[in-house]
């Protein structure tokens, strides 16, 4: 039986005992009424025969005995009721204590943090990844962490090619898939010079970096994935072209400038660059239209080379005097090359998404 069963049994016992007590009281009152009637009839006993008088007297004595018996039974029933009810109340108290003890034990199984915050899974000592339900827990291994949101950092994995382009304190702009339209800003604070395999069986290595979150439109929650735009270099007042517009011809960097219905291959000297953009140091004025694909060979004019003095100024190799071989034909398209205005700053950016 549980606590609710004992409480229900107590209520039932009280009702039964109250009913028995009420029945006995009713019987006593009935005997009292019969005795009163018999006393009224006793005035007529002087006019009846001795035998009938004796029968009436015996009936009155029997009623008196019955009343005494019922009265004693009522007293005994009251004592029994108190005893039974007390027994059940003690059982209820005992079960109440057992229930409270179980609740106390259950409360102890619920871990409560000594500070407010967001709880996240810790890293497993065995796998190095977030702990999952069903994994083996070792003594002293943290299972749950409540991070300090005042000092948040982003963990970044960079390929070897990317790592070579990065430097300490490079600025980063963060965006979050889970928080559309929200941005954060920070900088690189740590760079591990030794790479590690991206997985146990992989030969591809990645390099671990850490970055701070210095400011944010809305502070992100720990554990979110983040997309990083790393600002490698800021170059003021230059011309910039997409890498798609640059082509290699006889070890020269060449762009195809639109001249009416034809294209003029023009040598350029590039400066700082990223995987998508390149700064043009010489060869363009910023007002030309350039092709993003190789034009057909019958539409290509003679190569325009830069003066040797200009080439030497920027440290580029002196080009060969031989004429370039005709370029193979290809599909025409994308004539408008996106050059920036020479009056604007250009930011060389590395874009990629990494888990934080």
**56, 45 contact by CB (below 8 A):** yes
* Domain range enclosing 128: 113-146
DSSP 43: G
- Of 177, 206, 234, the position where a domain reaches its end is 234
Task: Specify the pTM.
Answer: 0.47
195 and 261 fall within a common domain: no
- Of 90, 109, 128, the position where a domain reaches its end is 109
Closest CA to 269 of 231, 233, 238: 238
Residue 356 is assigned to a structural domain of this protein: no
Q: Using one digit for the tens of pLDDT, what is the confidence trace for 262-310? A: 999 999 998 887 778 888 888 888 888 999 998 998 888 888 898 888 8
At 82, is the pLDDT very low, low, confident or very high (cuts 50, 70, 90)?
confident
The rounded distance, in Å, linking the Cα atoms of 335 and 318 is 29
117 and 43 fall within a common domain: no
Q: What share of the chain is helix, strand, coil (3-state, %, to 5)?
A: 35, 30, 35
Q: Using one digit for the tens of pLDDT, what is the confidence trace for 153-169? A: 899 888 888 888 889 99
Residue 61 burial (C-beta neighbours within 10 Å; 0-12, 13-18, 19+): exposed
Residue-wise burial string across 81-107, b where 16 or more C-beta atoms lie within 10 A, e elsewhere: beeeeeebeebbeebeeeeeeeeeeee
Domain containing residue 211: CATH number = 2.40.30.170
The rounded distance, in Å, linking the Cα atoms of 318 and 238 is 23
43 and 90 fall within a common domain: yes
Residue 353 is assigned to a structural domain of this protein: no
225-235 and 196-197 as β-strands: parallel, antiparallel, unpaired?
A: unpaired
- Of 187, 210, 234, the position where a domain reaches its end is 234
90 and 8 fall within a common domain: yes
Residue 355 is assigned to a structural domain of this protein: no
Better pLDDT: 57 or 301: 301
Q: Using one digit for the tens of pLDDT, what is the confidence trace for 3-38? A: 667 666 767 777 777 777 677 677 777 767 666 666
Q: Does residue 50 carry a pLDDT above 90?
A: no
Residue 350 is assigned to a structural domain of this protein: no
**153, 226 contact by CB (below 8 A):** no
254 and 306 fall within a common domain: yes
193 and 254 fall within a common domain: no
197 and 226 fall within a common domain: yes
Q: Dig out the tokens for 261 from the structure.
A: 């219905």
Residue 70 is assigned to a structural domain of this protein: yes
213 and 255 fall within a common domain: no
103 and 117 fall within a common domain: no
What pLDDT is stored for residue 277 in this prediction? 84
Residue 291 is assigned to a structural domain of this protein: yes
121 and 157 fall within a common domain: no
Query: How far from 328 is each of 242, 247, 259, 296, 305, CA to CA, in Å?
Result: 22, 13, 19, 7, 20
21 and 99 fall within a common domain: yes
Query: Could you give the 3-state DSSP secondary structure of residue 189?
Result: strand
The rounded distance, in Å, linking the Cα atoms of 36 and 43 is 12
The rounded distance, in Å, linking the Cα atoms of 140 and 268 is 62
Residue 284 is assigned to a structural domain of this protein: yes
Residue 182 burial (C-beta neighbours within 10 Å; 0-12, 13-18, 19+): middle
179-191 and 153-159 as β-strands: parallel, antiparallel, unpaired?
A: unpaired
What pLDDT is stored for residue 327 in this prediction? 26
What pLDDT is stored for residue 341 in this prediction? 35
Q: How many CA atoms lie within 13 A of 223 on its CB side?
A: 13
49 and 138 fall within a common domain: no
Split into its structural domains, the chain has a count of 4
Residue 160 is assigned to a structural domain of this protein: yes
In this prediction, residues 198-224 reach a mean pLDDT of 86
Q: Using one digit for the tens of pLDDT, what is the confidence trace for 212-251? A: 998 988 888 777 888 888 887 777 778 889 999 999 988 8
What pLDDT is stored for residue 326 in this prediction? 27
Domain containing residue 327: CATH number = 2.40.420.20
The rounded distance, in Å, linking the Cα atoms of 294 and 248 is 11
């Amino acid at each position: 039986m549980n606590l609710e069963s004992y409480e229900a049994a107590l209520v039932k016992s009280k009702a039964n005992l109250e009913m028995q007590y009420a029945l006995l009281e009713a019987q006593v009152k009935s005997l009292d009424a019969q005795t009163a009637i018999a006393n009224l009839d006793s005035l007529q006993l002087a006019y009846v025969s001795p035998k009938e008088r004796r029968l009436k007297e015996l009936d009155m004595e029997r009623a008196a005995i019955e009343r005494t018996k019922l009265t004693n039974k009522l007293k005994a029933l009251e004592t029994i009721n108190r005893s039974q009810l007390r027994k059940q109340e003690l059982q209820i108290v005992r079960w109440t204590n057992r229930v409270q003890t179980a609740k106390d034990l259950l409360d102890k199984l619920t871990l409560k943090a000594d500070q407010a915050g967001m709880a996240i899974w810790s890293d497993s000592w065995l796998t190095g990844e977030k702990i999952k339900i069903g994994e083996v827990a070792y003594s002293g291994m943290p299972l749950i962490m409540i991070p300090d949101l005042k000092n948040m950092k982003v963990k970044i994995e960079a390929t070897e090619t990317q790592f070579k382009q990065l430097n300490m304190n490079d600025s980063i702009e963060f965006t979050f898939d889970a928080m559309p339209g929200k941005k954060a800003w920070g900088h690189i604070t740590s760079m591990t010079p030794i790479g590690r395999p991206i997985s146990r069986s992989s030969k591809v290595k990645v390099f671990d970096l850490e970055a701070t979150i210095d400011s944010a439109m809305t502070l992100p929650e720990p554990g979110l994935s983040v997309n990083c735009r790393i600002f490698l270099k800021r170059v003021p007042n230059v011309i910039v072209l997409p890498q798609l517009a640059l082509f290699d011809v006889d070890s020269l960097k060449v762009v195809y400038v639109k001249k009416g219905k034809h294209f003029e291959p023009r040598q350029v000297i590039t400066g700082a660059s990223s995987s998508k953009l390149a700064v043009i140091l010489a060869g363009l004025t910023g007002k030309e239209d350039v092709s993003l694909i190789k034009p057909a060979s019958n539409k290509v004019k003679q190569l325009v080379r830069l003066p040797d003095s200009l080439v030497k100024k920027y440290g580029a190799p002196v080009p060969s005097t031989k004429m370039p071989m005709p370029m193979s034909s290809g599909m025409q398209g994308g004539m408008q090359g996106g050059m920036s205005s020479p009056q604007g700053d250009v930011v060389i950016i590395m874009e990629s998404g990494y888990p934080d």
